[in-house]
Structure 1
């Protein structure tokens, strides 16, 4: 039987492994720049997240090895009776660890964190080109209730 993952806030030292996880799929491979010597923009982004009490990068570990990551952001809102919502972003599980319940454990953990904080809603997005991810999130109770749109400012 595989051990269950444990969760903790990421540290700066975890950043190369986190970026490698983000790049470890077809879409991430085209948009991320993994390596031990990371570009400074990753460090700046990580420090901004770490300094923000409404944000956290989380890593999942099994036997001391990072096997997954996600970002959890708490967003104050006037909608939903002024309730706070939790946004889950950047969910990744190491390729060789997929299919062992780690992703489900990560999302369940994040939802429980939001519930304990009193959030009224948990939301996430996933790229339409990831049909397996869409099915996975639906299996966990997420519903495609809205149409999400993105406007990328750095595209020409």
Structure 2
């Protein structure tokens, strides 16, 4: 084992919080995996062990409907997908309050958050749409997909989307659909890696 250098963008974590260091900020190229051990030591682990550790860490995460107390954190994620926005700096307007309440009151709508304890790591909104096609089965529309900018690269986006798809499948939905901006080529590759196909052209009309 050898001690890792201390990358400026990594979080040191707590003595017992090796998950924070392991799943923290974007991982540099050539990364094998560093296990937090003690207050300030990172120990190199091999790729196989890293995969096991990743599975352990992801198993501790929860995907669930957002609470009102988490609304600022959700709005912070939606405000800027490339920068970490402090939820305390977000202004929650009456329109936000009304929309959040409407989502919560609608059995076909969910604002979901991916959490690690009290920390909101990601979010998405999922709407279950009834229809006469697909044998009358619902389809799930996924929107507002976000992962904290400083937590990308550790598999959280994939975990978020796979858990959302499983949630829709358990509900009886026939398919999951989404749209993505044409210039977001990295997102397109990500969705393709999850099995999403470019089956339609999307159109929007601002009102």
Structure 1 runs not aligned, ≥5 long:
none
Residue matched to 1:110 = 164
Q: Report which of the two structures shows the higher radius of gyration computed on alpha carbons.
A: 2
Separation in 1, partners of 2:90, 2:199: 39
Residue matched to 2:95 = 41
Is 1:87 aligned to residue 172 of structure 2? no
Q: Is the 8 A contact 1:7 1:58 kept in 2?
A: yes
SS at match of 2:192: helix
Residue matched to 2:196 = 142
Structure 2 runs not aligned, ≥5 long:
1-52
Separation in 2, partners of 1:20, 1:86: 24
Separation in 2, partners of 1:75, 1:126: 19
Separation in 2, partners of 1:40, 1:23: 17
Separation in 2, partners of 1:110, 1:133: 17
Aligned-CA RMSD value: 1.7
TM-score (norm. length: structure 1): 0.88
Structure 1 stretches of at least 4 aligned residues deviating more than 6 Å after TM superposition: none
Partner residue of 2:115 out of 45, 61, 82 = 61
Separation in 1, partners of 2:66, 2:135: 32
Q: How many residues align?
A: 147
Separation in 2, partners of 1:14, 1:68: 11
Partner residue of 1:14 out of 70, 77, 87 = 70
TM-score (norm. length: structure 2): 0.67
